[in-house]
Amino acid sequence: MGLCRAARQYPGPATHDRLWSAWCTLPQWHFLSAPSPVGPLPFSNFVDGHRAVLAFSTIDGANSYAAHMRIGPMMTLTPDAMMRRLPQLKMYGVYGFLVDAGPDGFHTSLDNLWTMFHHYRQARYAPPVAPAAPAPGGPVHGSMGWFRALPAWHVVMSTSDKSLPELASEGTDLIAQVFSSPLAVACAGAGPSVMMPPAQVIRMLVDLELVKLVRFDNQLVVDLVDLATSS
């Protein structure tokens, strides 16, 4: 609870990082269970007009809330297991994610949760003066090296012409939208995608002669020329 109190009393980027890094690196998250046509899912309720999952950092917190509201049973999931349920939750109209409901609670949207989880789960919070160390044994998750090591990329394709990518724009630049997994596509609500080897994706985009930038998982933006020349 100390982190969320600090987030209220001393708001700012450093406090936000400590708060969400601590949450995303917990080994388990705790929820209340609710039935659904696809099996048990974390219970959600309306918060500020939007349906939000209720999550708890401790078993005692989940049990206390369940007893108070007379709902349950409790379910415990690893963060990765919870991430796999995000597309289903979004399908049922869930928008937000509230941790430790009450005066010390903190919340975000499911889309932001996906982004922050993959950003913060690599290592626990380190002071800003100390650069984050690469994950042992390989490139940092979400880095260009990590994306290059994937056997396939998932490219968002046009619904009107399935042979062409769906391009976004940033100013006058056209951006191809590439994701690391079908789950990443679903969580971004990006539409239909096609799985291709990275080299094939790069060739396709270069041949279009229109694309300037490539955006990976809605986070990392890379110049296509740099991507092609370094491949």
% residues pLDDT > 70 (the chain)? 84
Q: Which amino acid is at 182?
A: P
**CA 79 to CA 100: how far, in whole Å?**
15
- Tell me 157's DSSP state: B
**CA 137 to CA 122: how far, in whole Å?**
13
Indicate whether 170 pLDDT > 70: yes
173-179/213-216 β-pairing: parallel
3-state secondary structure of 119: helix
Look-up of token digits 């041949």: 207
Mean predicted confidence (pLDDT) in 32-61: 88
Residues comprising the chain, all counted: 231
pTM (predicted TM-score): 0.52
pLDDT at 138: 64
Indicate whether 177 pLDDT > 90: yes
Which pLDDT tens digit goes with each residue over 129-156?
Answer: 444 444 455 677 778 888 988 888 999 9
Q: Among 129-133, 177-181, 206-210, 223-227, which is the least confidently predicted range?
A: 129-133
Can you name the CATH fold of 144-229? Trna Endonuclease; Chain: A, domain 1 (3.40.1350)
pLDDT, averaged across the chain? 81
Mean predicted confidence (pLDDT) in 201-227: 90
Pick from 182, 171, 167: which is nearest to 217 by CA?
Answer: 182
Which pLDDT tens digit goes with each residue over 70-87?
Answer: 877 889 999 989 998 988
Pick from 118, 92, 106, 99: which is nearest to 40 by CA?
Answer: 92
In CATH terms, are 2-120 and 144-229 the same topology? yes
Which is more confident, 186 or 73? 73
Do 44 and 52 touch, CB atoms closer than 8 A? yes
pLDDT at 57: 85
pLDDT at 131: 42
Which is more confident, 35 or 230? 35
Pick from 202, 195, 192, 200: which is nearest to 180 by CA?
Answer: 195
Q: Is 5 exposed, middle or buried (0-12, 13-18, 19+ CB in 10 A)?
A: exposed
pLDDT at 128: 42
Indicate whether 49 pLDDT > 90: no
DSSP string for 31-53: EEEE--TTS-EE-EEEETTEEEE
CA 166 vs. chain centroid, Å, equals 21
CATH architecture of 2-120: 3-Layer(aba) Sandwich (3.40)
Mean predicted confidence (pLDDT) in 51-61: 89
Q: Where are the alpha helices (DSSP H) in the chain?
A: 2-9, 13-24, 59-69, 79-91, 110-120, 144-149, 182-188, 198-208, 224-229
Each as own residue / partner, the long-range contacts of residues 7-15 (CB below 8 Å, 24 or more positions apart, any chain) are 7/106, 14/128
Domain residue limits, the chain: 2-120, 144-229
Mean predicted confidence (pLDDT) in 191-210: 89
Which pLDDT tens digit goes with each residue over 18-36?
Answer: 778 878 888 889 999 988 8
pLDDT at 171: 77
Q: pLDDT grade, residue 106 (50/70/90)? A: confident
